[in-house]
């Protein structure tokens, strides 16, 4: 398994409506396929590629859109 990247190395920061880590509303199509939801329904989760707690409204250079249509 490859080691996860540090947030600073992938420019982790504020996202925007067209690209962000996690789903923000039911019909959201701007979230990342690498985001893993946490056990509760809050803004926090994990990422398959980036270390640490990941917040749904954030973004990084490794963003890959989960919904393509």
DSSP category for residue 20: B
Residue 68 domain-assigned (yes or no): no
pLDDT at 38: 79
Any residues with CB less than 8 A from the CB of 18 and at least 6 apart, and which? 30
Q: Which of 58, 13, 11, 4 is nearest to 32 (CA)?
A: 58
Q: Which domain holds residue 15?
A: 1-63
Q: Is residue 69 part of a domain?
A: no
Say if residue 18's pLDDT is above 90: yes
| Residue 2: CATH number of its domain | 4.10.490
* Overall domain count for the chain: 1
- Residue 4: band (very low, low, confident or very high) from pLDDT cuts 50, 70, 90: very high
Is residue 28, in this structure, part of any structural domain at all? yes
Residue 24 lies in a domain: yes
pLDDT per position as a tens digit, 19-61 = 999 999 999 999 999 999 877 767 899 999 999 999 999 999 9
């Amino acid at each position: 398994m490859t080691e996860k990247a540090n947030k600073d190395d992938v420019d982790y920061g504020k996202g925007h409506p067209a690209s962000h880590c996690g789903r923000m509303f039911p019909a959201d199509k701007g979230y990342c396929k690498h985001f893993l939801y946490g056990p509760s329904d809050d803004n926090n989760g994990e990422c398959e590629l980036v270390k640490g707690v990941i917040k749904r409204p954030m973004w990084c250079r490794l963003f890959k859109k989960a919904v393509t249509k």
